[in-house]
Amino acid sequence: METHGLLAPETETDARRQYETVGPAAQTVVKETAKAMAFDREEYDERVTADVVETARDALFASLLEVRTASRAEYDEWLADRDREVIERGNENVSRVAWHDALGETVVAATYETETEAAIGTLRRQAFGSVYRDLL
């Protein structure tokens, strides 16, 4: 079993705190990206809205979520010891699983065969959309 990522909030309060923590980084990323695109002050003020910065914050938070990857057997063994709602996408006959344990309540999982990085990225977006978006 491998673990990828940094953020594994255990409570809603932890999730909100971690989400707030990535806010300044999201603002910096947006500002530096606009600078690299040669936005002048007027274009920056017009195009870089609060929604743009919020989208960057959402993406940054999601991209830092902790994800575990393992064989189907290791995943099933890990899950057997926990009482969680499970949201699993993919085919149960696929040999690998990527999952995020959201708030110790919900496991968001996706099956994959060989493309680990793609599975991790997809899973992070799914976890954000199905668990964290409404919360945050």
Do 72 and 130 sit in the same domain of this protein? yes
Residue 43, both tokens: 């274009």
Residue 112, both tokens: 């994959």
Q: How does residue 33 score in pLDDT terms, banded at 50, 70 and 90? A: very high
Global confidence as pTM: 0.91
Task: Give the end of a domain, one of 15, 38, 62.
Answer: 62
Please list the alpha-helical segments (H only) found in 12-106: 12-21, 23-36, 41-47, 50-63, 72-80
Integer Cα distance of 82 and 105 in angstroms:
9
- Domain residues for 112? 2-6+66-135
Do 104 and 130 sit in the same domain of this protein? yes
Do 44 and 100 sit in the same domain of this protein? no
The count of domains in the chain is 2
Q: Is the pLDDT of residue 30 over 90?
A: yes
Question: Residues 75-85: what's their mean pLDDT?
Answer: 94
Do 42 and 86 sit in the same domain of this protein? no
Do 54 and 97 sit in the same domain of this protein? no
High-pLDDT (> 90) share of the chain, % = 97
Question: 43 in a domain, yes or no?
Answer: yes
Q: Is 122 helix (H, G, I), strand (E, B) or coil?
A: helix
Do 86 and 115 sit in the same domain of this protein? yes
Q: Is the pLDDT of residue 92 over 90?
A: no
Question: Residues 113-127: what's their mean pLDDT?
Answer: 95
Do 81 and 105 sit in the same domain of this protein? yes
Across 29-44, b (16+ Cβ under 10 Å) vs e yields bbeeebeeeebeeeee
Residue 67 burial class via C-beta count within 10 angstroms: exposed 0-12, middle 13-18, buried 19 and up = buried
